[in-house]
Structure 1
């Protein structure tokens, strides 16, 4: 039986699959949140070539100083792709209408898939419910999942109970260092809050990070220790 990720019909139309054998290396990058300087430094450190692929976990925008610059940077390079985060979704729903939004930005956010996968690896912004199959998930759950029983930072977090079959890369929940479990890798290390911007190097099984400036304050109760 294949363990490649498969969703229900509504989400499967927003699920992009990549052939892992086409790429020399694949990197998955955490929430950028408009932090263009950190993004440029991280991409420079990765020393990409045309046979590499970089997948962002969403939340390219909002909170940081240069959301338009981040959008332009990612869109300009075909090696850079992203899933949709809850902050892109807020703009699409009209919950947020930032003054930096330009013609074409909404269309770009709408084009972002809810999920990206390669082989048995799945990339979503928030996470998955360990008690249900992928086919039973709704879009908002994949974008905002922290706990199957709530949305706060009190836990338990979904990845504490998730045992596969897929390896899920995610952002959304801010951690003081990357989450590394057998079946879950969390990459939001608080870039916009003065933490780090983190990438996972798939071929070499290692994290790459760059420090970032503080663009927004965050309560310590909303930064998780993944130990």
Structure 2
């Protein structure tokens, strides 16, 4: 695995996959606890299965505290730190229901989780940059390859060619993006879409619909990239 900078490596958690039966990577919950519980029930999740979130477990949805408690207290759940978690830590946004202990836990979250031949980040990997030059902001916010064009194509996952397969959220999608080297899982649950899980071992996608539209989002900020689902490598 190509190394990140020392600063990123300090926020990098590696998973021993031999410890788990099934491993599910899940898109951005954004405080949607009802849908998260429904997804776990649909997956028939056991204590021997691992759930890895691509970040943004908080903000915008109805129960950020509930999602934090669910993930924080579960020994079989991990998450990277998304840009919405980062906004809380930097004081750009506030959630009064979160305690100081909750914020300390959020500050302890990694920005990268790795499995064999796999990286989980919130935003993405900039294919134009060496790994060692990536910042926390890069990993949390990368989307468009156009300078200043956050929602203008091409997107990083259309240009990225590995070597690892990168699972990401942040970019809200009409449907999951499943490519050889990139898998996008933010299917906009908080915006009335779905909460989506990817089985890392089998390549199977499972999704549950949003119980409600917690917040509106313009169509221009929900991408429907014309990409085909490809077989799991």
Bigger mean CA offset, 97-106 vs 10-19? 97-106
Out of 197, 200, 203, the residue aligned to residue 201 of structure 2 is: 203
User: Which one of 159, 163, 166 corresponds to residue 164 of structure 2?
Assistant: 166
The 10-residue stretch of structure 1 (106-115 or 15-24) with the greater mean CA deviation from structure 2: 15-24
1:103 maps to 2:100: yes
- 1:20 aligns to 2:17 (yes or no): yes
Q: How many residues align?
A: 224
What SS class does the counterpart of residue 88 from structure 2 fall into? helix
1:128 aligns with 2:128: no
Displacement after TM superposition at 1:85 (Å)? 0.4
CA contact (8 A) 1:15 1:115 kept: yes
Deviations, residues 141-194 of structure 1 (Å, cap 9, x unaligned): 000110233351112110010010010000000000001110000000000000
Which of 39, 46, 63 is equivalent to 1:49? 46
Q: Which residue of 1 aligns with 2:221?
A: 222
User: 2:187 aligns to what?
Assistant: 189
Encode CA deviations 1:100-130: one digit per residue, 9 max, x unaligned. 2223121011011010001110000000101
Give the match's secondary structure for 1:135.
helix
**Structure 1: how far apart are the matches of 2:65 and 2:2?**
32
Q: Tell me, what secondary structure is at the counterpart of 1:185?
A: strand
Residue ranges of structure 1 left out of the alignment (5+ in a row): none
1:65 equivalent in alignment to 2:62: yes
Report the TM-score when normalising by structure 1: 0.96
SS class of match (1:104): helix
SS in 2 for 1:192: helix
- The answer to whether the aligner puts 1:10 opposite 2:2 as a matched pair is no
**Alpha-carbon contact 1:5-1:122 (below 8 Å) kept:** no
